[in-house]
Amino acid sequence: MTTPPRWTYVCRRDDIVPNTGVAAKVGQAQVAVFRVVAPDGEDEAVFAIGNHDPRSGANVISRGLVGDVGGELVVASPVYKNHFCLRTGRCLEDESWSVPAFQVQVSEDGLVLVREA
Amino acid sequence: MMKMKLVVVGNGMVGHKLLEELVDRPQIEVTVLCEEPRPAYDRVHLSEFFSGKTAQDLSLVAPGFFDRPGLNLRLNAKAVGIDTTAKVVRTADGASVPYDKLVLATGSYPFVPPVPGRDRPGCLVYRTIEDLEAMRQWGSKSKIGVVVGGGLLGLECAKALKDMGLATHVVEFAPRLMTVQVDDMGGKLLRRKIEALGVTVHTQKNTLEIADGAGMGVGGRHKMVFADGSALETDMIVFSAGIRPRDELARNGGLKMGERGGIVVDNACRTSDPDVYAIGECALWSGKIFGLVAPGYDMARLVARQLVGDQAGEFIGADMSTKLKLLGVDVASIGDAQGATPGSLNYLFSDEVAGHYKKLVVSADRKTLLGAVLVGEAEDYGTLLQMALNGIPLPEHPEDLILPARQGAAPKGLGVDLLPASASICSCNNVSKGDLCAAISGGAASLGALKKCTKAATSCGGCQPLVKQVLDAELKKAGVTVFNHLCEHFAHSRQELFHLVKIGNHKSFDEVLVKHGKGRGCDICKPAVASILASVNNEFVLKPRHASTQDTNDYYLANLQKDGTYSVVPRIPGGEITPEKLIVIGRVAQRFGLYTKITGGQRIDLFGARVEQLPMIWKDLIEAGFESGHAYGKALRTVKSCVGSTWCRYGVQDSVGMAIKVEERYRGMRSPHKLKMAVSGCTRECAEAQSKDVGVIATEKGWNLFVCGNGGMKPRHADLLASDIDDATLVRYIDRFFMFYIRTGDRLQRTSVWLENLEGGIDYVRKVICEDSLGIGAELEAEMQKLVDTYECEWKKAINTPETLRRFRHFVNSPEPDTNIQFVDERGQIRPMTRLEKNEETV
Ligand code: SRM
Ligand SMILES: Cc1cc2nc3c(=O)[nH]c(=O)nc-3n(C[C@H](O)[C@H](O)[C@H](O)COP(=O)(O)OP(=O)(O)OC[C@H]3O[C@@H](n4cnc5c(N)ncnc54)[C@H](O)[C@@H]3O)c2cc1C
Ligand code: SF4
Ligand code: FES
């Protein structure tokens, strides 16, 4: 028996200041949701990864600075500045610190939905 | 093709290394018998379990590793017998596993001296994750803990007990700590240092018996009775009195054993049966057991090669040099540390004030280094180790290698160029200088890249400084100039960018990036450019176009703490505050349940605020007339003052008045790094102005102005810039000085480091500031005046800007707070719950 995937409405895309993140409660999990826009205003995308910073133990990944390192979109944890890949949650400095990645979709009218893990 | 059946007993660190070396060999069918409930994990970093790492974090097994065909892992499968004639291994559950080749990698077990009472509950050892779980459990119901054994592991264990908050004792049989690695004097110093940390050390104690303690229950469950008649009460005991090889399997299987245990192996790591190998801590080679992981890895690599038919190479013993940080004390031991080589000579240096002890052991002809002991400071470990290992000729005065460098002396240390390509740089991962050079010329041009592709410096980390030196030397040789580019997005220094922003009249990060950079920016260039924009334009830092470039502290206008809460620091100019305002701070702290502390900067810090509380806290503070203290910004922090001539019988000027005046002038000013100031009322210097970026000291005739002092990590006394100047000149010079630094400083470079890197030094600065040699004096003053005139309290602005306030909540889709933030009471106030208290491995 399979249960259908559950998608949680998080906020409107416009509620997220471009190139910042917000934290959202998705089921029991805390998820960091980022809205990323290239400097020319193009190439907009939304990503969701775990909000728990494994290194400090604080739920603050959503408050990190986003950017790219070696061509990969990342967020830097605000505590000890480890970088996490926005697509996969992989920690660039030490893979054992990686965080989960969540599926995310933006509806036509701009609603951000994250899928429960 | 018939596959070879290989059985490996033990999936510890060394056994697992062997499997890694044999991966993707379809001709071998491997069965791994692992007694523990989980596959291999990093025993070397086991203690990090106590600082929050989980069993999962410590795992050495790459994802999917055991899913390979031809690799069968059996957990909870203890081997109980081998029959070398029938060539089968029997396991505890009754199974028989046939083999063509057998590798024993059973490691060792902690030795527990045969003391009556050693089986009492709460008597533990320190080797596996289960052992640590038991320690944690006992630790939570104990007040006193004893470690039996003052060796390397014992001291590591003592740290764990100490961190759990127990009154910690180390009981050692020998007259000193770390008998194997350190000599008498080094041991004495080590003991003093460890005792200063609050661990009680008992040497020459022979435990006769462990009996009931008087306390019964917490505070004396056991009583340890010693041969000298003394006794010690404790709640838990951890034995760390050495290791013994786990050789029972081999012994019962009839293999040749050492007199005092250990499975005898030859230079190919073969036991007395040619089809059975032994590697790691269970193997006895040339009468020696190696209790470190690097020699075990060498053995694993060697046996892996033989199993696939490559007979070349042999085990030739291993270097047992070590460098560690024990309870925060650096200790290193190299080669013949005890001076056992006939005719060897010692050089000794001991500084009892700083707590350093260093010894060199050199050959009789004083040409080569045989060994060394370093306690208290071990920065030169890498250099000395390489000299000893590679027989590099000693300098004419070997003592220079351990004497502290005098000012102006040429830097000591060996040029890494002297090392042969075969020199082993990282012994944990068997990486030679040649391997590093090959990787560097193959494109690994940063420390991170080099670590990734060679694995050097990824285990104990002791070799990292040397790896960096090799990297720098190679890059230099290759003609790569080491750029001061801000980061991969900007091929400019901060100074150049400042200029470009000014000239181009840029107003946002995106504009600067599109014009002068590439990519999307990162956590290095965003805050740096944000700071430049603030220094030039002084716009509200949370304007939508700046918000995404601010570090979390600037984003929430508060300082992030380890648990995700923030601290709040209202400005208290000059440290002067009315009783009414003191009461307001107290009330606010009470109302929001915050922890309060007087800072080192003469003001009050309120800790434990959740993001959603910050605006309410500031509303109360602003109503009472407080302003942001910018404790979160790379900006002016505090201007410390002494009480000065108003009250003090020695004071010659109103230092408090001047401190308030300058604090109000420069508050909120963003700069390459934080800025601190102080004003003292006379030459007694109670405000410690000479340790600040700008220090002002009153004289009979006016003020002396000091610049570029620093406390902190690398203290520096400030330099005198001008003397006996009046109030107006003082302010003019400070205006110019700050603006000049803001224009030319590097990212996160304090004024002290800036000055030290500035050609011409303080004389040059004096010419620019006091003699206006560049003719920019008026310009600098005007730029500063603009910042002063456009100052606005960021918090006042924030609480009046609804779109900014919306961001001050934890969840975007729920008003709930973050339940991970939890406090406990300590000394009448809150403090964050530790991860241990939260029992976090389940999170
Ligand atoms: C709160 C306070 C400690 C206290 O309880 O007394 C403190 C706390 C911090 N200090 Fe400090 N420093 C505090 C006074 C000092 C002092 C003493 C002083 O200012 O007179 C010094 C030495 C003086 C100096 O800076 O030259 C000091 C030298 C440092 C350094 C080393 C700077 C250096 O260049 O060597 C750092 C690290 C850094 O900035 O990179 C640092 C960094 C920090 C940080 C920002 C670390 C961090 O990122 O979390 C701490 C944040 C505090 C917070 O959350 O509010 N703190 N720190 C003091 C706040 C003073 C204030 O009212 O603003
Ligand atoms: C706390 C601590 C800190 C350390 N710090 C350092 C350090 O800083 N530097 C350093 O170089 N070394 C350090 N060491 C030593 C290092 O961990 C060992 O040298 C290394 O683990 C040896 O590897 P091994 O595979 O021989 O033994 P182990 O890692 O002990 O593995 C042996 C495995 O075999 C299993 N086994 C035994 N008998 C059987 C059987 N009959 N059937 C099935 N399985 C069996 C055991 O359960 C175990 O899992 C430290 C050790 C500890 C405990
Ligand atoms: S510095 Fe001078 S004026 Fe200030 S308190 Fe000390 S002695 Fe008094
Ligand atoms: S020597 Fe241990 S990591 Fe290199």
CA distances for B453 relative to A73, A91, B448, B460, B789, angstroms? 22, 17, 9, 17, 54
Measure B461 CA to ligand 4 centroid, in angstroms.
Answer: 5
Per-residue model confidence as pLDDT tens digits over B720-733: 999 999 999 999 99
Nearest to A39 among B520, B555, B556 (CB): B520
Residue A2 lies in a domain: no
Residue B474 has a pLDDT of 85
pLDDT at B571 over 70: yes
- What six digits make up the tokens of B809? 């909540």
CA distances for A113 relative to A103, A106, A109, A117, B718, angstroms? 8, 6, 12, 13, 56
Q: Are strands B167-171 and B200-202 parallel, antiparallel or unpaired?
A: parallel
Residue A31 has a pLDDT of 97
Residue B407 has a pLDDT of 46
What is the sign, positive or negative, of the torsion defined by CA atoms of B179, B182, B184, B190?
negative
Residue A32 lies in a domain: yes
CA distances for B454 relative to B386, B421, B447, B449, B518, angstroms? 19, 15, 11, 9, 30
Residue A47 lies in a domain: yes
Please give the number of the atom of ligand 3 that sits closest to the Cα of B682.
Answer: 2
Best residue in B56, B509, B515, B552 for a mutation probing chain A (most A CBs within 10 Å): B552
Burial of B621 (0-12, 13-18, 19+ CB in 10 A): buried
The chain-wide mean pLDDT, for chain B, equals 91
> B292 CB less than 6 Å from ligand 4?
no
More confident residue, B54 or B476: B54
Structural domain total, chain A: 1
Per-residue model confidence as pLDDT tens digits over B500-533: 998 889 999 999 999 999 999 999 999 999 999 9
Question: Does the CB of A14 have a partner CB in chain B at under 8 Å?
Answer: no
Measure B569 CA to ligand 3 centroid, in angstroms.
Answer: 26
Burial of B738 (0-12, 13-18, 19+ CB in 10 A): buried
CATH code of the domain in which A109 resides: 2.102.10.10
Rounded CA-CA distance B627/B581 in Å is: 12
For residue A71, give its domain range: 7-115
DSSP A51-105: -B-TTT--B-GGGSEEEEETTEEEEE-TTT--EEETTT--BSS-GGG---EE-EE
Element (H, E) at A31: strand A29-36
Residues 6+ apart with CB under 8 A from B227: B205, B206, B207, B208
How does residue B411 score in pLDDT terms, banded at 50, 70 and 90?
very low
Among A65-69, A113-117, B478-482, the least confident range: B478-482
> B456 CB less than 6 Å from ligand 4?
yes
What integer is the mean pLDDT of A26-41?
A: 92
**A25-54 residues touching B, CB cutoff 8 A:** 25, 30, 33, 36, 38-40, 52, 54
Rounded CA-CA distance B169/B148 in Å is: 9
Yes or no, beta carbons of A67 and B521 under 8 Å apart: yes
Burial of B65 (0-12, 13-18, 19+ CB in 10 A): middle
Rounded CA-CA distance B4/B448 in Å is: 39
Burial of B209 (0-12, 13-18, 19+ CB in 10 A): middle
Nearest to B514 among A39, A67, A79 (CB): A39
How does residue B410 score in pLDDT terms, banded at 50, 70 and 90?
very low
pLDDT at B422 over 60: yes
pLDDT at B842 over 80: no
Alpha helices in B61-147 (DSSP H): 129-139
Let me know: does A75 contact A68? Beta carbons within 8 Å. no
Domains of chain B from N-terminus onward? 4-109+245-307 (3.50.50.60), 123-241 (3.50.50.60), 494-550 (no CATH)
Identify all chain B residues contacting A57, using CB atoms and an 8 Å cutoff: 52, 562-563, 820, 835, 838, 840, 843
Residue A1 lies in a domain: no
Identify all chain B residues contacting A78, using CB atoms and an 8 Å cutoff: 551-552, 560
> B462 CB less than 6 Å from ligand 4?
yes
Residue B397 has a pLDDT of 81
> CA nearest B233: which of B122, B110, B151?
B122
pTM comes to 0.55
Which residues of B touch chain A, with CB atoms under 8 Å apart?
A: 52, 56-57, 59, 448, 488-489, 510, 513-514, 519-523, 525-527, 544, 547-549, 551-552, 555-556, 560, 562-564, 806-807, 810-814, 816, 818, 820, 835, 838, 840, 843
Residues 6+ apart with CB under 8 A from B139: B145, B161, B164, B165, B166, B236
Rounded CA-CA distance B765/B769 in Å is: 6
Let me know: does B243 contact B108? Beta carbons within 8 Å. yes
How does residue B564 score in pLDDT terms, banded at 50, 70 and 90?
very high
What integer is the mean pLDDT of A64-70?
A: 94
Q: What is the ipTM of this complex?
A: 0.72
More confident residue, A63 or B188: A63
Residue B215 has a pLDDT of 67
Residues within a 6 A CB radius of ligand 2: B 9-15, 33-36, 43-44, 46-47, 78-79, 105-107, 126-127, 153, 156, 246, 249, 280-281, 291-294, 296, 460
pLDDT at B409 over 50: no
Residue A16 lies in a domain: yes
Residue B400 has a pLDDT of 80
Amino acid at B832: P
Measure B385 CA to ligand 4 centroid, in angstroms.
Answer: 12
Residue B840 has a pLDDT of 59
Yes or no, beta carbons of B519 and A79 under 8 Å apart: no
Rounded CA-CA distance A45/A65 in Å is: 16
Among B296-305, B416-425, B804-813, the least confident range: B416-425
pLDDT at A50 over 50: yes
What integer is the mean pLDDT of B409-413?
A: 46
Per-residue model confidence as pLDDT tens digits over B281-308: 999 999 999 988 989 999 999 999 999 9
What is the nearest CA distance from A1 to chain B, expressed in angstroms? 26
3-class secondary-structure state, position B802 = helix
In the DSSP assignment, the letter for residue B129 is H
Residue B408 has a pLDDT of 43
Per-residue model confidence as pLDDT tens digits over B121-178: 999 999 999 999 999 999 988 999 999 999 888 998 998 999 888 999 999 999 999 8
Residue B217 has a pLDDT of 60
Let me know: does B746 contact B754? Beta carbons within 8 Å. yes
What is the nearest CA distance from A25 to chain B, expressed in angstroms? 7
pLDDT at B181 over 50: yes
What percentage of chain B has pLDDT greater than the value 90?
A: 66
Per-residue model confidence as pLDDT tens digits over B62-90: 888 999 889 999 999 999 999 999 999 99
Question: Does the CB of A78 have a partner CB in chain B at under 8 Å?
Answer: yes
Yes or no, beta carbons of B812 and A33 under 8 Å apart: yes
Identify all chain A residues contacting B527, using CB atoms and an 8 Å cutoff: 65
Mutation choice for ligand 2 from B38, B43, B89, CB with most ligand atoms inside 8 A? B43
What integer is the mean pLDDT of A38-63?
A: 92
Residue A84 lies in a domain: yes
Report the DSSP beta bridge partners of residue A115: A7
What integer is the mean pLDDT of B352-376?
A: 89
What beta strand segments (E) does B107-180 contain? 108-110, 123-125, 144-148, 167-171
Alpha helices in B593-723 (DSSP H): 614-623, 655-666
Measure B237 CA to ligand 2 centroid, in angstroms.
Answer: 21
Residue A68 lies in a domain: yes
> CA nearest B602: which of B716, B686, B694, B684?
B686
Residue A25 lies in a domain: yes
What percentage of chain A has pLDDT greater than the value 70?
A: 96
Per-residue model confidence as pLDDT tens digits over B313-334: 899 888 888 887 777 788 889 9
Per-residue model confidence as pLDDT tens digits over B588-646: 999 999 999 999 999 999 999 999 999 999 999 999 999 999 999 999 999 999 999 99
Residue B843 has a pLDDT of 40
Element (H, E) at B766: helix B761-770
Measure B174 CA to ligand 4 centroid, in angstroms.
Answer: 30
Phi, psi of B81 (to 5 degrees): -165, 150
Let me know: does B1 contact B26? Beta carbons within 8 Å. no
Residue B182 has a pLDDT of 84
Let me know: does B7 contact B99? Beta carbons within 8 Å. yes
Identify all chain B residues contacting A70, using CB atoms and an 8 Å cutoff: 488
